[in-house]
């Protein structure tokens, strides 16, 4: 499976990349929502996007809205991975089209649990 990590933090991208690779994913990265959309449009093999909320140029919420509005890549499952813990943010992200929501900091087991809820079984 192919996954895309969209986060402006290089450290967080590295953490997610490491965990996803351990689970058997091929991983691409983007530093903001605009870069993430470009990666998705050029790589149709991406089945999963893990997206931060707070990023420059295009935040995670706007990324999800743009992704869901684009019929060429709206099939991608989206897991919002963020420090935003306010329930209204969770609700907004899910209403916009996120499939699940994972709050930072998280464990590998928590990530696996969310993937399971999304029907994604890593290798």
CA 14 from centre of chain? 14
pLDDT averaged over every residue in the chain: 94
CATH topology of domain 8-26+33-108: Rossmann fold (3.40.50)
Residue 123: the pLDDT is: 61
First and final C-alpha spacing in the chain: 8
- Answer yes or no: are the C-beta atoms of 58 and 32 closer than 8 Å: yes
Element (H, E) at 14: helix 10-22
Longest dimension (CA), the chain: 34
Hunting for tokens 């140029």 — which residue is that?
57
| Residue boundaries of the structural domains of the chain | 8-26+33-108
Residue 74: the pLDDT is: 78
pLDDT tens-digit readout, 39-94: 999 998 999 999 999 999 999 999 999 999 998 887 899 999 999 888 898 999 99
Q: How confident is the model at residue 32 (pLDDT cuts 50, 70, 90)?
A: very high
Distance CA 57, CA 106 (A): 25
Per-residue pLDDT at 119 exceeds 80: yes
pTM of the model: 0.94
């Amino acid at each position: 499976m192919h996954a895309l990590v969209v986060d402006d933090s290089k450290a967080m991208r590295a953490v997610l990349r490491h965990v996803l690779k351990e689970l058997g994913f091929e991983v691409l990265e983007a530093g903001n929502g605009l870069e993430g959309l470009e990666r998705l449009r050029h790589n149709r093999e991406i089945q999963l996007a893990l997206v931060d909320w707070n990023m420059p140029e295009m935040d995670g919420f706007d990324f999800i809205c743009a992704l869901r509005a684009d019929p060429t890549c709206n099939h991608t499952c989206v897991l919002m991975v963020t420090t935003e813990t306010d329930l209204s943010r969770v609700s907004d992200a899910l209403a916009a089209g996120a499939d699940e929501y994972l709050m930072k900091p998280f464990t590998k087991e928590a990530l696996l649990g969310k993937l399971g809820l999304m029907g994604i079984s890593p290798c």
